[in-house]
Structure 1
């Protein structure tokens, strides 16, 4: 009785603790199970993201190989004369010299009955001994019988002793089918090809890729046109294992994922379950599709031409993506420990105060945390800065403020969407955290702005520059977003206390000034504040005020530089260029105030002044001369821009056909639909449109087809390299060919020598502009004389 009497009060005394312990154990088990399910989902998501990334890397690598085959087609279709065997071998070798996955490249011309003897003789004359057009019969070759049409291997990167020369693809059913498919659809076609002749080292079947080539200048609009105008095919045979391994090595692909590539489905489902892959990234990975399907795997496709090959990915055995449940175990352990703590806590009768303390702490953390990145926010940063600054005043250690701004982040948001921008910010936050010490403070201030407090360095200046350099290098490395590879940079401004002051507001302002200097210096760099920056800011503010006055008081001038017809040398018009004649500083060049005008919005009234003045001046020129005026990207955001242009033409009396509007590529990156509609309105009014500085920006060919341009202006940087860099000639020639195909003219800017001008004429440029033909001049010094003759050009 005594024992039971004593047990009852003990049970009543510890009942809350026992109940809490029981509930805590239950919740721990439930929580561990929930976390295990969550870990399972997270592991799957991480694996699928990694697999998709590897698949994308493989696809990009394959596209690079195929694009080089397309370059061979361009060689055949753009050449004025027949491509020789030597030219083919040299060009092919250069294209694929660092691409070991290409087994061989061949030129397969279309040969009719009458041409057969000539082709055979030509090949023998080129050194291919005993060349003859031959057909495949069994495991060997025989002379091809007479027929109306042949598709023999004529050029090849194989040694000239190879049996492949002369093999008629028309006699191999699967290869003939892929040739016809490529020809009729005017597209790249492929198939899984068995090599003919001796196999080396048990080599697996390869991928054969076919690119149709048509006679230069002929139509390919219909199937009939394409069959009639076919010139032949560029054929590439890829060594898939070597190609894929090369891509993975070159790109530093993750070893956590095993990737298998299988041939395209043929309808034989049962046999495919046992099919071996043409390539596997891990020797001990399951090979058959049925084995892959039994475990965690990801399925996708690798597009080679018009054929989809099958891709299967699995986590590498014992790799980081193998299913683990460490967090679930940790949750269970932590839950049990918390349960024990809670029971003890209840016994000590302090549960309520403890809960209140935890709640207050959590509220404070949420209030000082950036939700997107999990970093401290502006409020926490300022609070911590105030605390450290107070310690400095009491004899504490020196510290630095690093202000960071991401370069080209706006391009990511505009082109990929805000979801991609948020994902990028999270990745940037992780990289920044990895570069810091535990004592450093990293915060996101808002948008793409971050800030760092660094203290306790033996040499604070050296420590800050070392950290800034490390951060710049980290952020410059590519970021992998779902389906995209993004490259950005960061501009950094540094202020050091107490060298640059001890007032919090002044330190932040000086770090911002240093950040502004980094942006102005070309971005992706860091700058430490110096006193000259404050003076520069004051000078910039003064210059901005002077520019406002200059626009209001008409202190701006418009000078004109001629552009000429490349064939006859006759002047075809003038480009309007703004100049600022300051009352005390004299003539200020545009590079010192145009950027300022764009940043402050003054470019809008300045641009209107230039356009109106240019139209008014050009109205008095001979009727065969046009005037070209640049529009800033900032002006495109003005709703009344079209009305302003129309008013300038109407007030001056200048016909719209004599006005040419020059637009830079940056205009096309934003508000694509609105800008396209605006340009169509300009075209419908009769105004000419030119794409300015082509080649210095993104140079997307889609701009040329999507937007209604009449002219392409090649940037002067290509002209400077024209006479000593063959690549510049090749680029200009390609631009000219492309422009002709799109019914556009081409102007070369920055022509300064007779040699450059003659070279540009040979390349087919329509117009030329530069110091060779005249420097920019005010209206009262312009000459409207006869066409420039060669002697005059030499004198110029």
Structure 2
């Protein structure tokens, strides 16, 4: 197209366009307009249309794929949640069944007949926190000859007008004569209830379940209706039968089980209430609606007629057909030998219901953006979010205690560093509370680690209820917990108030499966900045305060003061001196006599260690024995005492024995038996003249190993004595389970013996018990003639105390016969 001529006019600020040929210009303009009109619109908008078409195509495909993925994820999450709920219900049902089995154990383990009051008490305690159990009953196997005796016995027990009855229609009548009956004899129902005496053998469906339980030695269950007018209109309840066999009889074959059957323990469950309680107590997920249908009986029932015995949500589909039409999960709930059908569906409007939100988002974004940009942004943002959540979850797991769900030591130390940094900037004080559970080890050792873990979880829950949302509660490991308490108006008062609240909470009993446990806690408190401004100082001083609480008798709390650091330094110094004393043989062995209670003649000496410090003089045992046990020095110390005592006693008259205490720490040494044998061999002391004294705490740990060890000592001929009897965890089972020759009564029972009749009664009981077990009894701490005479009258075999002599070095002890030198001294 010809270009217009451009000319600048002199003297003007603008350029004027002048056309050489105006007609030519008009023609060109008309030709251009015609070309634009003639150009196809499709070609003009082709890139935009292609972009729209491709974008729509990929958006729809992407949305469909995301919808399928969402549907699959929702289904998996729903099935996992439903399966978890079914497992929880099954575990809860197993808890109920196990309690009925515990009731069977009561009948099968006792030598005497279980009384009505024992049954009622035991049953009530078993199910007092289990409201799903309607009643528990005992159905003895009654023969024709025993019928009148049982009816008379029930009337004597307070069940007025008791008679064995049969069910005829909807009413009861006296049961006709039969070879055997299975009447309701004991029950948790009031004694006025009409169920007493009802013979289950006269109800065909109940007789069938009894026979099934008997022949298979299994828990059998049926869905049944109770025969009491006030319970009309209820859904059928669940009857569970547990067979009970005569104690000590065989149940290998069906014939054996039929012959040896003693009766049945019957439980009646309110199934809807039971399942509801299980779901409430376990914090069931509200996102899943659970329906429980009765077991299939073989009768032809339409799916529309299959209505649930239990439904967790009224708005959920009820009939089997309605459930089957939607997304659902199928399982079973086993009650005894019968399977109830479980069906689960997502709760309407809940998080597990498929809503396809992401698919809709992808479709909308795809319509607005180009394919590459929308796909990239969607995937990039989603992957970024997932990665962020994964990283956050990894961080949470790294800073969370798996057992209790509390923050762990790493999180606690990190938070403590933050608090210290804020302390320097803002000057806000805070305190640290270090907690250590008292008697937790006893729970672990006696009930097992599973019970210990359950106890720790309950402790964590109680601690959560005691602290504020702004406080930091953490489990440091084992039975150790810690709290960081943020600033208050009076930090010291706030800390003591929190410690007192925690101590009170943890002294309340804990209910573990089958056990009631009581523990306590020792607490140490350090306050920042008063007691330090860095992590190491605060933790060290809180630990010192905790150690003081433990030493003060436990179940208390202590705030750090500077004297504790001085005590720690003194303790460390004393520990170092004790190590040197053991290495340099600065320890001495003194001997205190024990005498025959009747004749007053000496029968031996107890070896007692003494420490003569080069600068501090004679240090009492109560100041270094505990330190030796805590540091492990008791092992070389105990070996020194045993070897010295054996060597000294080898030179005494042959009728004198030597008694040596063994610490519980020594019992954990693998070579203890060899050390004792070597001490006897080196000294030449006959084993029957050595008496090993053992405290009761040894018996609480490693029971089977310690029993075997004591049997080995007895095989050598060594005498074994149970020391400080009555002050620890005394149990009569120890006296029969462990091979003791002697019981040593603690001196706390001897003190004020002549003024406290109860002490005399206790000692008399111990003496009688010891005689029955062929053991002798030694009374410790005898200081007066009156106490001695009283002990003789009570039948004590031996006596020991200041009345007969104080502990003295061997050089100051006078013997009736010349002292012989031991092999070691002769060498």
Calculate the TM-score normalised by the size of structure 1.
0.60
Deviation of residue 500 (structure 1)?
A: 2.4
2:95 to 39, 56, 60: 60
Mapped to 2, the partners of 1:741 and 1:267 lie a distance apart of 56
Label 1:469 to 1:87 Cα distance change in 2 as closer, same or farther (>3 A): closer
2:244 to 190, 202, 212: 212
Q: Which residue of 1 aligns with 2:266?
A: 235
Deviation of residue 95 (structure 1)?
A: 6.0
C-alpha contact (below 8 Å) 2:100/2:267 kept by paired residues? no
Label 1:202 to 1:576 Cα distance change in 2 as closer, same or farther (>3 A): farther
Deviation of residue 641 (structure 1)?
A: 3.9
Mapped to 1, the partners of 2:649 and 2:75 lie a distance apart of 72
C-alpha contact (below 8 Å) 1:576/1:610 kept by paired residues? no
Q: Which residue of 2 aligns with 1:397?
A: 427
Mapped to 2, the partners of 1:287 and 1:761 lie a distance apart of 71
User: Any idea what SS the aligned residue of 2:527 has?
Assistant: strand
Q: Which residue of 1 aligns with 2:687?
A: 654
Q: Which residue of 1 aligns with 2:227?
A: 197
Are 2:199 and 1:168 equivalent residues in the alignment? Answer: yes
C-alpha contact (below 8 Å) 2:306/2:319 kept by paired residues? yes
Mapped to 1, the partners of 2:437 and 2:202 lie a distance apart of 57
Q: Deviations over 1:643-684 (max 9, x none)?
A: 33554565554269987977747634xxxxxx9678657657
Deviation of residue 317 (structure 1)?
A: 3.1
Deviation of residue 601 (structure 1)?
A: 1.9
Q: Which residue of 1 aligns with 2:567?
A: 536
Label 1:296 to 1:220 Cα distance change in 2 as closer, same or farther (>3 A): same
Deviation of residue 240 (structure 1)?
A: 3.3
Mapped to 2, the partners of 1:302 and 1:405 lie a distance apart of 43
Deviation of residue 299 (structure 1)?
A: 4.3
User: Any idea what SS the aligned residue of 2:184 has?
Assistant: coil
Q: Which residue of 2 aligns with 1:703?
A: none
Map 1:616-631 onto structure 2 (within 5 A): none
User: Any idea what SS the aligned residue of 2:220 has?
Assistant: strand
Deviation of residue 118 (structure 1)?
A: 3.3
C-alpha contact (below 8 Å) 2:223/2:237 kept by paired residues? yes
2:531 to 496, 500, 516: 500
Deviation of residue 101 (structure 1)?
A: 4.0
Mapped to 2, the partners of 1:259 and 1:763 lie a distance apart of 60
Map 1:288-437 onto structure 2 (within 5 A): 294-295=326-327, 297=329, 299=331, 301=333, 304=336, 307=337, 309-310=339-340, 312=342, 314=344, 317=347, 322-323=352-353, 371-373=398-400, 384=418, 387-388=421-422, 391=424, 396-400=426-430, 402=432, 404=434, 435=468, 437=470
Q: Which residue of 2 aligns with 1:6?
A: none
Aligned residues: 680
Q: Which residue of 2 aligns with 1:667?
A: 701
Mapped to 1, the partners of 2:413 and 2:148 lie a distance apart of 85
Q: Which residue of 2 aligns with 1:601?
A: 632
Mapped to 1, the partners of 2:63 and 2:434 lie a distance apart of 43
Are 2:780 and 1:775 equivalent residues in the alignment? Answer: yes
Q: Deviations over 1:153-194 (max 9, x none)?
A: 334444555443333344445545555566677x66332253
Map 1:53-132 onto structure 2 (within 5 A): 53=88, 55-57=90-92, 59-60=94-95, 63-64=98-99, 67=102, 70-71=105-106, 77-79=110-112, 100-124=131-155, 128=159, 131-132=162-163
Q: Deviations over 1:48-83 (max 9, x none)?
A: 556645654554355346535644666xx243xx55
Calculate the TM-score normalised by the size of structure 2.
0.58
Mapped to 2, the partners of 1:746 and 1:179 lie a distance apart of 53
Mapped to 2, the partners of 1:174 and 1:615 lie a distance apart of 76
User: Any idea what SS the aligned residue of 1:191 has?
Assistant: strand
Q: Which residue of 2 aligns with 1:20?
A: none
User: Any idea what SS the aligned residue of 1:202 has?
Assistant: coil
Label 1:607 to 1:78 Cα distance change in 2 as closer, same or farther (>3 A): farther
Q: Deviations over 1:476-506 (max 9, x none)?
A: 999999xxx9999987654334322456654
C-alpha contact (below 8 Å) 2:292/2:308 kept by paired residues? yes
Q: Deviations over 1:620-647 (max 9, x none)?
A: 99999998976636743x4434533554
Map 1:438-477 onto structure 2 (within 5 A): 457-462=488-493
Mapped to 2, the partners of 1:578 and 1:259 lie a distance apart of 70
Deviation of residue 196 (structure 1)?
A: 5.6
Label 1:254 to 1:475 Cα distance change in 2 as closer, same or farther (>3 A): farther
Label 1:453 to 1:603 Cα distance change in 2 as closer, same or farther (>3 A): same
The CA RMSD measured in Å over matched residues stands at 7.0
User: Which structure 2 segments of 5+ residues have no match?
Assistant: 2-57, 374-387, 401-406, 598-602, 750-758, 801-827
Deviation of residue 534 (structure 1)?
A: 1.1
Deviation of residue 467 (structure 1)?
A: 7.0
Mapped to 1, the partners of 2:712 and 2:78 lie a distance apart of 57
